[in-house]
Amino acid sequence: MSVLTKQAPGAAAALGAGAPGRPSRGTPRRKNQRSGYLFLLPWFLGMLFTIIPFFASLYLAFTDYNLFMEPNFVGLANFQAMAGDPRLWQSLKVTFIYTFVSVPISLAVALAIALVLNRGLQGLAIYRSVYYLPSLLGGSVAIVMLWRYIFGNDGIVNGFLSLFGIQGPAWVTDPDFSLSTLIVLNVWTFGSPMVIFLAGLRQVPTMYYEAASIDGASRWRQFRSITIPLISPIIFFNLIMQLIGSFQTFTQGYVMSGGTGGPADSTLFYNLYLYQKGFTEFEMGYASAMAWLLLMIIAIFTAVNFIASKFWVFYDN
C-alpha cells in the first residue's frame, strides 16, 4: 500500500510550491478537494452499504434475530451453540480439508506448468489459453453439474478406470469420496494462478541463470536459489488469494449435493451451512455469528501468512 500512495506527498508538495505563482482566483485546491469527493460519491455510497451491514451483522451475531421478529440480545448464546453444533464442526472440517488439500496442489501444478511454459516454447499463447479457460468455468453451475456425471457411477472416470480393470467407487454418493471430486474440480482451475506465475517468471532476468550455470549450478539448484526467491512474492500473493477464495466456496457444494451438503454432510461447506442456517431455517443471528467466525478465521490465516512471509518471501528492493 505504501508504494501506491507514495506519490501523494510529493505531488502535494509540488502543488503547494507552485501555489504562490498561481493567480489567486478562488482556491483551486479546495475546488479539487470537492471534486475528489464528487468522483468518490458512488464509492462513498458503496462504503456506507458495506460499513453499516458490517457492524449490523456484528450486532446480529449477539441476537436471536429470525427475520420475522425483533432481534433480542442474547449475549454469547450463538457462539456457545456453535461450539456444540456438530454440523458446524463438520462444515469447518470439510472447508479446511478442501482448502488445505486443493490449494497446495493447484499452486504446485500451476507453478510446474508455468515453469515449463516459461522455457520459451512455441505456442505459449495456445497452451496458456487452454489451461486458463477452465478457471473461468469452474464456478459455473453447468460445470459442477457436469462433474456429477463425470464422476457418476458409470461416468467417464469410472469408465476410464475400468479399462485397467479397476472398479471405481461411487464418487458422488459415497461420503468418503464426494469431497475429493470437488478437490479435483478446484485443481482443474489452476489456470488463473498459473497465468500470474507466468507473468512473474517472465520478470526473472535470464542473466541470473547464465551466471549460475557458468558457476556450475545444477538446474534444481538454480530453481531453488534463483527462481523460488525471486517469485516468492507471487507465490505468497497466489497463496493468500486462493486461501481466501476457497474458504468461501459455496456453489460447488450446493450444486454437487443439490443444496443439502450431502451425502452425510461430506460436502457441507461452511458457507453452504451458513446459507442453510440463515436462509432456510431463518436463524439469522446464528448465521451472522457464523459469518463473523469465518471472518476471524480468514483474518487469522492471513495474518499468520503475513508474519510467516517474513521468513520466506524475498523482496528485491
Q: Which of positions 201-230 make contact with other proteins (CB under 8 A)?
A: 202-203, 205-206, 209-210
- Comparing CA positions, the residue from 276, 264, 290 lying closest to residue 179 is 264
Q: Which of 168, 245, 262, 263 binds other proteins (CB under 8 A)?
A: 245
- Contact between 235 and other proteins by CB under 8 A: the answer reads no
Angstrom distance (rounded) from CA 6 to CA 10: 8
Specify the stretch interacting with other proteins by CB under 8 A; choose among 11-19, 82-90, 164-172, 260-268. 11-19
Nearer to other proteins, 150 or 179 (CB): 150
Specify the stretch interacting with other proteins by CB under 8 A; choose among 78-86, 95-103, 171-179, 191-199. 191-199
Least distance from other proteins to the Cβ atom of residue 210, Å: 7
Reported as half-sphere exposure (CB side, CA atoms, 13 A), residue 83 has a value of: 4
Q: Which of 141, 161, 166, 211 binds other proteins (CB under 8 A)?
A: 141
Least distance from other proteins to the Cβ atom of residue 120, Å: 4
Nearer to other proteins, 89 or 279 (CB): 279
- Cell triple for 147: 462433474
Please count the other Cβ atoms lying within 10 Å of the Cβ belonging to residue 134.
Answer: 16
Q: Which of 90, 139, 169, 228 binds other proteins (CB under 8 A)?
A: 139
| Max Cα-Cα span within the chain | 88
Nearer to other proteins, 2 or 24 (CB): 2
Are the C-beta atoms of 245 and 294 separated by less than 8 Å?
no
Dihedral, 147, 151, 156, 161 alpha carbons, nearest 10: 150
Angstrom distance (rounded) from CA 97 to CA 314: 29
Are the C-beta atoms of 242 and 107 separated by less than 8 Å?
yes
- Cell triple for 55: 457492524
How many chain residues touch other proteins (CB under 8 A)?
Answer: 116
Sites for other proteins among residues 16-45 (CB under 8 A): 29, 32-33, 35-43, 45
- Cell triple for 99: 482448502
| Backbone φ/ψ region at 282: left (φ over 0), alpha (ψ -120 to 50), beta | left
Nearer to other proteins, 170 or 294 (CB): 294
DSSP state of 314: -
- Cell triple for 114: 508455468
Q: Which of 241, 260, 262, 263 binds other proteins (CB under 8 A)?
A: 241
Q: Which of 87, 248, 260, 262 binds other proteins (CB under 8 A)?
A: 248
Sites for other proteins among residues 40-69 (CB under 8 A): 40-43, 45-47, 49-50, 52-54, 56-57, 60, 65, 67
Least distance from other proteins to the Cβ atom of residue 3, Å: 5
Q: Which of 79, 96, 132, 177 binds other proteins (CB under 8 A)?
A: 132
The single-letter code of the amino acid at 27 is: T
> Binding mask 145-164 vs other proteins (x if CB under 8 A, - otherwise)?
xxx-xx-x-xxx--xx----
Sites for other proteins among residues 65-124 (CB under 8 A): 65, 67, 113, 116-121, 123
Angstrom distance (rounded) from CA 150 to CA 198: 30
